[in-house]
Structure 1
């Protein structure tokens, strides 16, 4: 089982089973965050008036089948299938929707799809990452590991 599979499975499970939570929190989303499953680190930075998120580390950066760095092989665009997972942008179009809240899209590398997403800082070191598949929404909490 690859790290990417675990990471994506955790996000999809949260999307399909967790109730939507919109707890308000004050804080800055920029920094490095560890996913709830602990299998990936994501750096969040300012992008214009919004935020961007990029994978900067994986618990298991190598594909066990090939021994090579994991790539975005589920992407439907053949030109993007060989891009490395480390450095892969996850958030796009994340614009502010309130105090410490953003909305936009999140990319799912396990199926190569992009979903509607909401991000919010719920505590100084907690980032709530939510997404929706149709009318089903859910999410998970990420923990800050660096500024």
Structure 2
């Protein structure tokens, strides 16, 4: 009985090691042109453009002009979600990433590299592109 209790206690203590590290916070994109704030969005996690570090071509009021959906082309980039539907999956976060420069949405995997770096991967089929975002101060 005692061995079973010890084994169960060890298993319960080890479980948090399998969890993904939190990705919430403010992150500077790899191109250093925007700050993305990641946090809860209903039942999932999302990331929104909360600050431009480099003004877009049409200024701070830039609209989502490259979106494939004509109905969404008038929405402002500032405040717009670019990471959507993220949920924890083992040591990673899985969801979708939207690129306002191309107007395309990709399957995405995000993971914390360390306290100040976030690895953001966007994939179409087997082909992926990875960026490293840094924590905003």
TM-score scaled to structure 1, two decimals?
0.72
Name the counterpart of 2:31. 37
The yes-or-no answer on 1:144 pairing with 2:135 is: yes
> Aligned residue for 2:13?
none
Deviation by residue 1:52-103 (Cα, 9 ceiling, x = unmatched): 1000111233535xx562110001222211111111111111111123x210
1:117 maps onto 2:108 in alignment: yes
CA deviations over 1:93-119 (Å, ceiling 9, x no partner): 1111123x2101111112211110001
Task: List gaps (5 residues or longer) in structure 1.
Answer: 1-23
Task: For 1:139 and 1:119, locate their aligned partners in 2 and report how far apart those are by CA, in whole Å.
Answer: 9
Q: Which has the larger radius of gyration?
A: 2
Q: Using the alignment, how far apart are the partners of 2:42 and 2:111 within structure 1?
A: 17
Structure 2: how far apart are the matches of 1:76 and 1:127? Answer: 28
RMSD of Structure 2 on Structure 1 (CA): 2.1
Structure 2 segments unaligned to the other structure (5+ residues): 1-17
Residue of structure 1 in register with 2:72 after alignment: 80
Offset at 1:49?
5.2
Measure, in 2, the Cα distance between the counterparts of 1:41 and 1:68. Answer: 13
> How many residues are treated as equivalent by the alignment?
120
1:21-62 deviation line (CA, Å, top 9, x unaligned) = xxx996321110001121110000023553110001112335
Name which structure has the greater RCO, CA cutoff 8 Å, separation 6+.
1
Matches within 5 A, 1:103-114: 103-114=94-105
Quick one: distance in 1 between partners of 2:38 and 2:73? 23
